[in-house]
């Protein structure tokens, strides 16, 4: 995708006229005295719900910046070095805020002033090849109840790094926990088919009982036999490996076809997103991504279980409890990128424990937490066949009967959009030449329209759930893309790569890959707006309650001759609060926004010093203190003209 986002200079976070409004703000309420944020998703099950009510629908318009902390860790692309992205969601435990930087430094801050208490530098190689760029989304924490509170590493902070290490440091000082692994570190490189250029970690580990569990991020369109996407659990005290689970066991279809012992002929299927934990049931819920290579599956026949799935693993052993596959034999990079969300729904007079799993397809699945069986019916429906020699696409895919798809699944040439008639004509002509039979049309040699494209639907941004209202809120993207398979001989002739876009080698397969998002000469999407939406789903009814455009593409690609409709792609998810609010950033116009959860009305937006491609969090340290709202603002590493930043920004009421 050729992203030319105009850099937005920020002279001040708010205009001076807002200062007059602060004095008239309604008095804050004190229904909940304090609340921490001990997990990436607030609770171990990832609901992203805070009961705090001090910031409410009545006073949210008066939010102001309380403090800003600069990490100093920014990297522009150059040589081998990738751009940075500041995507951390901090944790708040024991009166301290813990975060990670783009360079994998761990930092502890005073949560009310933003002053640094300590920092620990893991000294990763900043010139390493780290896939999508220098990013990390946070830490996990664990308390050693066998160790006195005043002893080192009573509370530990864990981070998994871009260069494949698991690190444990003392929460009080930042010093490495010497009894964990080798002086506080465990290598994560001991996996089959490991390649240092294509195997790394971006998400925080999960904690279940006395185990710290890690997945991995793998660049799955590089070659057939990418690294194994194993999930591994380590002893939180010693760092010893306790169990591992591979989402792609040996493929019997490959063995039958070749007359050999079972083999893989694939890799990845990895868990690169956030995991959820049910401590009471001793179950870990793992979202998995695509098998490699992700746009051609001729060498990995069958469903490729358990890639593109949500699986339940026994915490103590790693044993598979159940699995549910969201996409069979994935050919579209439709990872289960959205973190699983655990909650309880009241359905037909009963309380039902569920796991809610979104997908890049824009489909939302509600499964019984104990069995993995759909709570709302799921139908296997016929989908288009592949016309690529050597490829056998799955004949069906699973579609929930409800909720309905959260994004469109079809897009015809006569629906093409553009800011000018010339743009629209270009888009219509381009789309008319693509294979286009709706969602799950396989990649082709002529080029296939992918709707939605490989950024979703729902991506790693995930969702939030209000348990009082039984409303789930998620941001979705709505931009079509093209995927074209290129025969190996032609692909290897680099002089033939004349189109702007992404090329995937898919080494070992008969085809390389070309893909890009479909944009007109104006650089705006050809698909009709809104290109990004915030969606609320009534989970009791399985219906969309409201759906509103999120953000703006008004400055995308520079100035335009007329007003651009609202709606922006977004990376970075929502949270919800007891104050009846949804908070979310993630858009290319660089605002943090607040919405009324009942109606979807935007109530406030605050300008950020760089775009906030992260999930915010909120906390109140004490009964007499203020509620703070915190977001990392660092820009996006793959939107190459977007301004980068290193700011952790905290908002509060006057």
Q: Judge whether 560 lies within some domain.
A: yes
Give per-residue pLDDT as tens, 186-200: 999 999 888 887 899
Element at 628 (helix H, strand E): strand 627-633
Identify any residues that bridge with 502 across adjacent strands, giving them in sequence order. Answer: 515
pTM, 2 dp = 0.93
Q: Which pLDDT value is given to residue 318? A: 98
**Cα radius of gyration (the chain):** 24
How large is the greatest C-alpha to C-alpha distance in the chain, in angstroms? 78
pLDDT tens digit sequence for 445-458: 999 999 999 999 99
Give the model confidence (pLDDT) of 300-355 as tens digits: 999 999 999 999 999 999 999 999 999 999 999 999 999 999 999 999 999 999 99
The question of whether 333 is a catalytic residue gets the answer yes
Give residue 105's region: left, alpha or beta (phi > 0; psi -120 to 50). Answer: beta
594: closest CA among 626, 554, 629, 568? 629
- Report the first-to-last Cα separation within the chain, whole angstroms: 42
pLDDT at 154: 98
Six-digit token string for 159: 């981070």
Are 474 and 449 contacting, i.e. CB atoms less than 8 angstroms apart? no
| pLDDT score of 110 | 98
How many Cβ atoms from other residues are within 10 Å of residue 507's Cβ?
Answer: 15
| Cα three-residue angle 531-563-572, rounded to 5 degrees | 30
Asked if 241 contacts 222 with a C-beta cutoff of 8 angstroms, the reply is no
Which pLDDT tens digit goes with each residue over 349-365?
999 999 999 999 999 99
Considering the domain boundaries, does residue 1 fall inside one? no
Residue 63 placed within a domain: yes
The total number of structural domains in the chain stands at 1
| Residue 26: inside a domain | yes
Question: CB–CB of 342/369 below 8 Å?
Answer: yes
- Does residue 7 register a pLDDT over 60? no
Catalytic residue among 35, 73, 304, 333: 333
Confidence of residue 592 (pLDDT cuts 50, 70, 90): very high
Q: Report how far residue 8's alpha carbon sits from residue 46's, in angstroms, rounded to the nearest whole number.
A: 33
Nearest alpha-carbon partner for 172 in 101, 98, 274, 275: 98
Residue 10 lies in a domain: no
pLDDT band at 459 (very low <50, low <70, confident <90, very high): very high
Q: Is residue 13 part of a domain?
A: no
Bridge partners for 649 per DSSP: 68, 631
Give the count of alpha carbons within 13 A of 385, CB side only. 4
What domain range is 164 assigned to?
A: 18-652
Strand, helix or coil at 491? helix
CATH number at residue 179: 2.140.10.10
Phi-psi region of 176 (alpha: psi -120 to 50; beta: other; left: phi over 0): beta
> What's the rounded mean pLDDT across residues 25-35?
56
Taking alpha carbons only, the member of 578, 580, 575, 566 closest to residue 629 is 575
- The count of residues in the chain is 654
Please give the share of the chain, as a percent, with pLDDT higher than 90.
84
């Amino acid at each position: 995708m050729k992203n030319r986002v105009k850099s937005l200079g920020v002279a001040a976070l708010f205009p001076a006229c807002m200062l007059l409004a602060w004095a008239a703000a309604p008095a804050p309420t004190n229904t909940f005295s304090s609340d921490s944020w001990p997990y990436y998703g607030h609770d171990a099950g990832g609901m992203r719900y805070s009961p705090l009510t001090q910031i409410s629908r009545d006073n949210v318009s008066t939010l102001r910046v309380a403090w800003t902390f600069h990490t100093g860790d920014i990297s522009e692309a150059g040589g081998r070095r990738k751009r940075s992205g500041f995507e951390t969601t901090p944790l708040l435990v024991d009166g301290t805020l813990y975060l990670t930087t783009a360079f994998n430094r761990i930092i502890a801050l005073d949560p009310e002033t933003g002053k640094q208490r300590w920092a620990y530098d893991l000294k990763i190689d900043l010139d390493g090849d780290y896939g999508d760029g220098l990013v990390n989304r946070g830490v996990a924490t664990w308390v050693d109840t066998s160790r006195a509170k005043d002893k080192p590493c009573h509370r530990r902070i864990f981070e998994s790094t871009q260069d494949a290490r698991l690190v444990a440091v003392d929460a009080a000082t930042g010093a490495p926990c010497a009894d964990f692994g080798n002086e506080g570190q465990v290598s994560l490189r001991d996996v089959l088919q490991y390649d240092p250029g294509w195997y790394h970690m971006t998400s925080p580990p999960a904690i279940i009982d006395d185990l710290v569990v890690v997945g991995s991020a793998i660049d799955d369109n590089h070659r057939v036999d990418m690294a194994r996407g194993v999930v591994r659990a380590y002893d939180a005290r010693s760092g010893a490996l306790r169990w591992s689970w591979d989402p792609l066991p040996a493929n019997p279809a490959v063995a039958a076809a070749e007359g050999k012992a079972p083999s893989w002929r694939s890799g990845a299927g990895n868990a690169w997103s956030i995991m959820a934990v049910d401590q009471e049931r001793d179950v870990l819920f793992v979202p998995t991504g695509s098998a490699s290579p992700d746009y051609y599956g001729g060498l990995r026949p069958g469903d490729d279980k358990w890639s593109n799935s949500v699986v339940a693993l026994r915490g103590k052993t790693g044993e598979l409890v159940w699995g549910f596959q969201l996409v069979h034999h994935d050919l579209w990079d439709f990872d289960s990128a959205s973190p699983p969300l655990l909650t309880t729904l009241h359905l037909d007079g009963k309380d039902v424990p569920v796991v809610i799993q979104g997908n890049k397809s824009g489909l939302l699945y509600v499964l019984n937490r104990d069995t993995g069986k759909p709570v709302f019916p799921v139908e296997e429906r016929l989908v288009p066949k592949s016309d690529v020699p050597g490829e056998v696409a799955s004949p069906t895919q699973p579609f929930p009967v409800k909720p309905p798809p959260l994004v469109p699944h079809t897009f015809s040439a006569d629906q093409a959009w553009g800011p000018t008639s010339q743009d629209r004509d270009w888009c219509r002509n381009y789309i008319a030449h693509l294979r286009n039979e709706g969602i799950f049309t396989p990649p082709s040699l002529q080029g296939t329209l992918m709707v939605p494209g490989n950024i979703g639907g729902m991506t790693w941004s995930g969702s939030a759930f209000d348990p009082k209202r039984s409303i789930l809120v998620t941001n979705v993207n709505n931009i079509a893309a093209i995927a074209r398979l290129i025969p190996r001989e032609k692909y290897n002739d680099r002089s033939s790569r004349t189109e702007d876009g992404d090329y995937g080698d898919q080494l070992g397969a008969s085809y390389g890959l070309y893909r890009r998002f479909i944009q007109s000469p104006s650089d705006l999407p050809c698909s009709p707006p809104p290109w990004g939406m915030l969606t609320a789903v009534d989970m009791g009814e399985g219906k969309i309650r409201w759906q509103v455009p999120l953000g703006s593409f008004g400055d995308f690609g520079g100035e335009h001759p007329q007003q651009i409709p609202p709606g922006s792609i977004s990376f970075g998810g929502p949270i919800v609060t007891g104050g009846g609010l949804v908070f979310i950033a993630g858009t290319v116009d660089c605002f943090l926004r607040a919405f009324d959860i009942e109606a979807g009305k935007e109530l406030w937006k605050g300008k950020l010093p760089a775009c906030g491609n992260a999930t915010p969090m909120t906390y109140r340290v004490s009964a007499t203190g203020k509620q703070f709202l915190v977001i990392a603002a660092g820009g996006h590493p793959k939107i190459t003209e977007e301004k980068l930043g290193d700011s952790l920004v905290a908002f509060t009421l006057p």
